[in-house]
Amino acid sequence: MFHVVLVHPKIPPNTGNIGRLCVNTGATLHLIKPLGFRIDEASLKRAGLDYWKRLRPVVWESLEAFLDHVDWRRLHLLTTKGNRSIFDAIYRPGDYLLFGSEDRGLPPWLLERFSSQTLRIPICPEGRSLNLAVSVGIVLYQGIAQNREGFCQ
């Protein structure tokens, strides 16, 4: 239904939780190198990611390679500096939800290039940010809520 794109993820448990979300929602997971961890068979087995084979993530060598192969109009860039709330966006099946690394977010040049497509998750002023896996779950299910027909029952 949707594409979840992690740009330079660093924390394996976050990516593992996001992978589980993707399996359970029918979303495709895209991982953009460099990654902060290995995704070889031994590493996945050691991390207990037994569902990873059902996930079949798409791994990209670079952000530029990814951008060369997608429809830019279908991108939603998630950032604490987003121009609009996730609640004001319109999501369609096949859209790409881009999330940056846990420590740096999305690259500034990317946010500038697609500034009209940036979204933020509203949080209270006392908060600073949310965990990456939590953020993906919030946005992914917001998209599913708008497109329930055909979703796994």
Domain ranges, ordered by start, for the chain:
3-146
Kindly indicate whether the domain formed by 3-146 is annotated with CATH number 3.40.1280.10.
Answer: yes
Cross-strand partners of 140: none
If you ran DSSP here, which 8-state letter would residue 135 be given?
Answer: H
Structure tokens at 98: 């881009």
Rounded to an integer, the average pLDDT of 121-136 is 93
Give this prediction's pTM: 0.93
* pLDDT tens for each residue of 33-46: 999 887 765 665 55
Q: What is the pLDDT of residue 51?
A: 73
Q: What is the pLDDT of residue 40?
A: 67
Phi, psi of 116 (to 5 degrees): -75, -10
Locus of tokens 């990814």: 66
Show the beta-strand stretches assigned E in the chain. 3-7, 28-32, 58-60, 75-78, 84-85, 96-99, 118-120
Structure tokens at 56: 């079949």
CA–CA separation, 49 and 28 (whole Å): 16
